């Protein structure tokens, strides 16, 4: 054995080098066939070449093959919806922007009777409890974060009371975001007849196939098929300023009318995908007349290659003539978004960006600041909100509003399951303008070239390198 090792030792580096070269060539072919952006493709190849074993594991967990496998699973779930999708189809007059959204998502333009903006968690939770108490047939909820705290207990108890009355309760939560939910906390709801499911639940037997990077970030509530809630506010004390002075500042909305049927469809698809059981209630799709507010539900996620919310936002940015106001807690734009924002500012559009001065992710905050000089140089006005801002909203001109769960970053546009609503209505835009103008008045405007120091600028530039993963 010693003699064999001695004979092989002079050639060991050659064989290791040959094995590494073969590995890199095989890996490069695999990744190139994913047909991602050239920069992302080269980044993955270089990273995995330098980390032969660990890199391969990371790519398997986080890379595009994981997304494609889940895309197939969700397409199968959609196929099982069949007649339910037909029951939700009521077309409404469509603008070019809405036709883009329809082609990318498969969800048709619709309308609302009423839309009410809910500023802050206290307003949202009060409105939600009132709506739950009015339910006669069913209450469907889907959340990224549902915590067993004071706020979560209040919502759970409202659901338990309705379940005891015979109202059908279905609660779908993300397994990672709502990891604090225990069997004991959920027991009263289940004992009352409510159903609970966890999206992409972690299981030891699937250790090689975790879904840690593919989360449902949606916030959906549908009551009796005619009342809907969506936006950015999770069910947690962290977003309830009635309980905490440092609560996240956020925005939600209640919508009544025909468009709620599309919220229902988004929830129903996620429910059957997660549980394997389709909701078969007879009252899921109530008939409603067209309302005066043009609206379109925008579901997006890694089950679709079209990045619906991203495309609609870019379409709205390119359409802008007078105003673009963008509010987001996480601002990590791609090249197309940066070009759209700076081009709009250069052609004289009033472009304003509002982000938190310090978000709950130091890395994302640093990456966001690395773009400020370019934006300001083009004429974009950048504002920093004094505390954690969790609002996700886009206001364009006097009629376009996009509200929902999606941040302005790669993770929301490509990896998370998100949901927003596009409104083409001057009334909704005016209401949103009032909310955002108030928020902008509390922000500090960032001016000119920032003297943040060498080390801070280096940190921001380094964080920017990770933008595709943030």
Catalytic residue among 162, 168, 200, 219: 219
Same domain for 278 and 334: no
Distance of CA 84 to the CA centre of its chain: 24
Catalytic residue among 124, 168, 217, 252: 217
Tokens of 262: 């599309």
Catalytic residue among 249, 392, 409, 439: 392
Q: What three-state secondary structure class fits 178?
A: coil
Confirm whether 303 is domain-assigned.
no
pLDDT of residue 355: 96
Same domain for 274 and 171: yes
Assess whether 224 carries a catalytic annotation: yes
The model's pTM: 0.86
Confirm whether 107 is domain-assigned.
no
pLDDT of residue 280: 84
Same domain for 216 and 126: yes
Same domain for 268 and 162: yes
Same domain for 264 and 119: yes
CATH number at residue 192: 3.30.870.10
Q: What three-state secondary structure class fits 448?
A: coil
Confirm whether 186 is domain-assigned.
yes
Confirm whether 429 is domain-assigned.
yes
pLDDT of residue 32: 65
Domain holding 281, by residue range, is: 114-290
Q: Residue 317 belongs to what H/E stretch?
A: helix 308-319
pLDDT of residue 162: 98
Q: What three-state secondary structure class fits 247?
A: coil
Nearest-angstrom CA–CA distance, 328 and 353:
8
> Cβ distance 173 to 142 under 8 Å?
yes
| Residue 445 Cα distances to 223, 277, 340, 380, 442, angstroms | 41, 50, 21, 11, 10
Confirm whether 180 is domain-assigned.
yes
Nearest-angstrom CA–CA distance, 323 and 342:
13
> Cβ distance 150 to 125 under 8 Å?
no
- Over its length of 470 residues, how does the chain's per-residue pLDDT go in tens digits? 565 555 555 556 666 667 667 777 766 776 666 666 665 666 666 666 666 666 666 665 556 555 565 666 666 666 655 555 545 555 556 899 999 999 999 999 999 999 999 999 999 999 999 999 999 999 999 999 999 999 999 999 999 999 999 999 999 999 999 999 999 999 999 999 999 999 988 765 454 444 567 899 999 999 999 999 999 999 999 999 999 999 999 999 999 999 999 999 999 999 999 998 888 888 899 989 999 999 999 999 988 889 999 999 999 999 999 999 999 999 999 889 999 999 999 999 999 999 998 876 666 667 778 889 999 999 999 999 999 999 999 999 999 999 999 999 988 998 899 999 999 999 999 999 999 999 999 999 998 655 566 556 555 555 555 555 55
Same domain for 458 and 312: yes
Assess whether 281 carries a catalytic annotation: no
Same domain for 331 and 246: no
pLDDT of residue 461: 52
Q: What three-state secondary structure class fits 451?
A: coil
Cα-Cα-Cα-Cα torsion 415, 416, 417, 420, nearest 10 degrees, comes to -110
Domain count, the chain: 3
Confirm whether 249 is domain-assigned.
yes
Same domain for 268 and 377: no
Same domain for 339 and 284: no
CA quadruple 365, 371, 377, 380: dihedral sign: negative
Assess whether 390 carries a catalytic annotation: yes
Same domain for 269 and 146: yes
Nearest-angstrom CA–CA distance, 313 and 306:
13
Exposed/middle/buried for residue 413 (C-beta within 10 Å: 0-12, 13-18, 19+): buried
Same domain for 262 and 186: yes
Residue among 203, 150, 198 at smallest CA distance from 170? 198
User: Of 19, 34, 62, which one is at a domain's C-terminal end?
Assistant: 62
pLDDT of residue 62: 57
pLDDT of residue 27: 67
Assess whether 157 carries a catalytic annotation: no
Confirm whether 104 is domain-assigned.
no
Catalytic residue among 138, 140, 200, 224: 224
CA quadruple 105, 308, 276, 91: dihedral sign: negative
Catalytic residue among 149, 237, 373, 397: 397
Catalytic residue among 390, 409, 425, 439: 390
pLDDT of residue 383: 97
Same domain for 265 and 195: yes
Confirm whether 375 is domain-assigned.
yes
Assess whether 322 carries a catalytic annotation: no
Assess whether 283 carries a catalytic annotation: no
């Amino acid at each position: 054995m010693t003699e064999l090792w001695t004979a092989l030792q002079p050639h060991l580096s050659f064989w290791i080098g040959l094995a590494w070269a073969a590995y890199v060539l095989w890996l490069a072919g695999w990744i190139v066939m994913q047909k991602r952006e050239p920069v992302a493709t080269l980044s993955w190849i270089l990273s995995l070449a330098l980390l032969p074993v660990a890199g391969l594991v990371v790519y398997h967990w986080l890379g595009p093959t994981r997304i494609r496998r889940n895309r197939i699973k969700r397409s199968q779930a959609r196929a099982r919806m069949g007649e339910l999708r037909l029951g939700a189809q009521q077309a409404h007059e469509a603008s070019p922007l809405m036709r883009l959204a329809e082609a990318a998502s498969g969800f048709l333009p619709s309308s609302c009777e009423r839309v009410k903006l809910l500023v802050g968690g206290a307003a949202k939770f009060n409105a939600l409890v009132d709506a739950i108490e009015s339910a006669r047939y069913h209450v469907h909820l889907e959340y990224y974060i549902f915590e067993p705290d004071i706020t979560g207990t209040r919502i759970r108890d409202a659901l338990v009371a309705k379940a005891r009355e015979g109202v059908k309760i279905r609660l779908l939560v993300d397994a990672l975001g709502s990891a604090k939910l225990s069997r004991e906390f959920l027991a009263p709801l289940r004992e009352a007849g409510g159903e609970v499911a966890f999206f992409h639940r972690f299981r030891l037997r699937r250790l090689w196939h975790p879904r840690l990077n593919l989360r449902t970030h949606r916030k959906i509530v549908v009551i009796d098929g005619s009342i809907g809630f969506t936006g950015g506010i999770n069910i947690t004390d962290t977003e309830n300023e009635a309980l905490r002075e440092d609560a996240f500042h956020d925005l939600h909305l209640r919508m009544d009318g025909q468009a709620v049927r599309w919220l229902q469809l988004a929830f129903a698809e996620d429910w059957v995908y997660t549980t394997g059981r389709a909701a078969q209630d007879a009252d899921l799709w109530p008939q409603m007349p067209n309302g005066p507010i043009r609206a379109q539900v925008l579901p997006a996620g890694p089950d679709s290659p079209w990045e619906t919310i991203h495309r609609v936002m870019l379409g709205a940015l390119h359409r802008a003539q007078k105003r673009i106001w963008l509010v987001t807690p996480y601002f990590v734009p791609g090249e197309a978004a940066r070009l759209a924002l700076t081009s709009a500012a250069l052609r004289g559009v009033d472009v304003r960006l509002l982000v938190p001065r310090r978000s709950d992710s130091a890395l994302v905050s640093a990456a966001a600041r690395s773009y400020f000089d370019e934006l300001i140089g083009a004429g974009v006005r950048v504002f920093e909100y004094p505390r954690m801002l969790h609002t996700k909203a886009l206001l364009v001109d006097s009629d376009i509003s996009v509200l929902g769960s999606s941040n302005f970053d790669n993770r929301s546009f490509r990896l998370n399951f998100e949901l927003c609503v596009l409104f083409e209505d001057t009334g909704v835009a005016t209401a949103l303008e009032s909310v955002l103008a108030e928020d902008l008045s509390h922000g500090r405007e960032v001016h000119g070239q920032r003297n943040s120091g060498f080390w801070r600028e280096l940190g921001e530039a380094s964080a920017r390198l990770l933008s595709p993963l943030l």
